[in-house]
């Protein structure tokens, strides 16, 4: 008999399974597509914080999760022997004009108070060189909270760690014990069909992977574009936000536009070759907050869904609070994440 059955082998399902397994629970993860088959098998992996202002429970939850991420992913790697590609390398963002500069300095004061001295957000002079993006003011925002991992590798590392603890990951099987649904955008669609209005939807994203070794450098955020150096000598560029799409996993001219923007922004990428292109559909709840807690339409079962663009950053703490809820009946999930808030 299993103590917990997870439907969905994306980052939320695997993180909840890992946090339960490391406490001694017998877990089974069921996903017909396999590990990281959906949006969690992507290539970007930017673990970036919300701006340090207008503080709320969602931002506080994300901060705690980002701060615990290094220990979380290190334990996963130690348990299973696979690296998720995690490193807290920070991030640079160009400052466009005087108004943006004043706003960035105000946010630096907010970070000094809200980030508990465990990370910084500051305005720096651009160091120049071929990695620094053009900044009209000559200044960059540099935060030391942002981290990176390789999403597909991180899912594989979680799966290996779960199996090392005796857990099962299978393509089909029977639900036993407590049941958690972490089924991504298809799960949001299912909830919408059971309700009178939209609960959540899938938002397609596309990304490009380039062959360029910048692993020790900060990631970049330029005009809404994430440029993320990975440990394996690649750089990921992404991603698009597509509400309307025909094929969930097909790439198209959107990738050409991403690539052109990245090469225009960062001189170091001007001539580097492509490795591959990727597309997938990310689950976004109606409220844009993760949905963690009792399933609104499956009596006695749970849901962990709606990570959208912050799923990997939220996953360490989401896994822990869901394990608290499922195994111990202890609820420390923010009220804003209650699935009923998206109904």
pLDDT of amino acid 342: 85
Pair 184, 283: CB distance under 8 Å = yes
Task: Specify the pLDDT at position 160.
Answer: 98
Domain boundaries, the chain: 4-88+146-199+286-342
Q: Read off the pLDDT of residues 216-227 as tens digits, 9 standing for 90 and up.
A: 999 999 999 999
Q: What is the pLDDT of residue 100?
A: 97
Element (H, E) at 222: strand 219-222
- Integer Cα distance of 50 and 101 in angstroms: 17
User: Count of alpha carbons within 13 Å of 243, Cβ hemisphere only?
Assistant: 3
Task: Evaluate whether 277 touches 255 at the Cβ level (below 8 Å).
Answer: yes
pLDDT tens-digit series, residues 84-98 = 999 999 999 999 999
37-59 mean pLDDT: 95
Question: What pLDDT is stored for residue 19 in this prediction?
Answer: 98
Per residue in 184-198, pLDDT (tens digit) is: 999 999 999 999 999
**Contact present, 76 and 155 (Cβ < 8 Å):** no
Q: For residue range 226-284, what is the model confidence (pLDDT) as tens digits? A: 999 999 999 999 999 999 999 999 999 999 999 999 999 999 999 999 999 999 999 99
CA angle in degrees (0–180, nearest 5) for 239-104-131: 50
Evaluate the omega torsion of the peptide bond into residue 239 and state whether it is cis, within 30 degrees of 0.
yes
- 108-155: pLDDT as tens digits: 999 999 998 999 999 999 999 999 999 999 999 999 999 999 999 999
Q: What is the average pLDDT across 53-80?
A: 96
Q: Which fold has domain 4-88+146-199+286-342?
A: FAD/NAD(P)-binding domain (3.50.50)
User: 36, 155 in Cβ contact below 8 A?
Assistant: yes
Residue 274: count of CB within 10 angstroms of its CB = 12
- pLDDT at site 328: 97
Asked whether residue 28 carries a pLDDT value surpassing 90, the answer given is yes
What DSSP string runs through 227-286? EEE-TTSEEEEE---BSS-S-TT---HHHHHHHHHHHHH-GGGSSPPEEEEEEEEEEEET
Region 161-167: mean pLDDT is 98
């Amino acid at each position: 008999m299993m103590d917990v059955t997870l439907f969905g082998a994306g980052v939320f399902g695997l993180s909840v399974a890992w946090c339960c397994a490391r406490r001694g629970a017998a877990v089974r993860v069921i996903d017909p597509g396999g590990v990281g088959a959906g949006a969690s098998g992507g290539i970007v992996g930017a673990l970036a914080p919300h701006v340090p202002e207008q503080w709320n429970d969602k931002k506080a939850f994300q901060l705690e999760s980002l701060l615990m991420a290094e220990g979380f992913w290190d334990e996963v790697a130690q348990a299973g022997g696979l690296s998720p590609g995690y490193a807290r390398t920070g991030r640079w963002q160009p400052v466009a004009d005087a108004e943006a500069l004043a706003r960035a300095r105000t946010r630096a004061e907010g970070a000094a108070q809200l980030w508990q001295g465990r990370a910084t957000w500051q305005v720096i002079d651009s160091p120049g060189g071929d990695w620094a993006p053009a900044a009209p003011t000559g200044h960059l925002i540099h935060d030391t909270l942002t981290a990176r991992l390789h999403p597909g590798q991180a899912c594989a590392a979680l799966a290996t760690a779960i199996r090392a603890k005796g857990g099962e990951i299978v393509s089909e099987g029977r639900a036993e014990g407590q049941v958690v649904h972490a089924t991504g955008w298809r799960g949001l669609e299912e909830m919408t069909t059971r309700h009178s209005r939209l609960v959540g939807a899938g938002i397609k994203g596309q990304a490009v992977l380039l062959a360029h070794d910048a692993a020790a450098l900060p990631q970049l955020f330029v005009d809404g574009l994430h440029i993320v150096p990975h440990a394996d000598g690649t750089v990921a560029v992404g991603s698009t936000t597509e509400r309307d799409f025909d094929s969930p996993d097909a790439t198209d001219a959107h990738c050409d536009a991403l690539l052109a923007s990245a090469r225009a922004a960062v001189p170091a990428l001007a001539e580097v070759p492509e490795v591959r292109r990727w597309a997938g559909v990310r689950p976004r709840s109606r409220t844009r907050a993760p949905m963690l807690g009792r399933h609104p339409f499956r009596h006695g079962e749970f849901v962990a869904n709606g990570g959208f663009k912050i799923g990997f950053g939220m996953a360490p703490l989401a896994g822990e609070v869901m394990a608290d809820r499922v195994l111990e009946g202890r609820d420390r999930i923010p009220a804003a994440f209650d699935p009923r808030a998206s109904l």
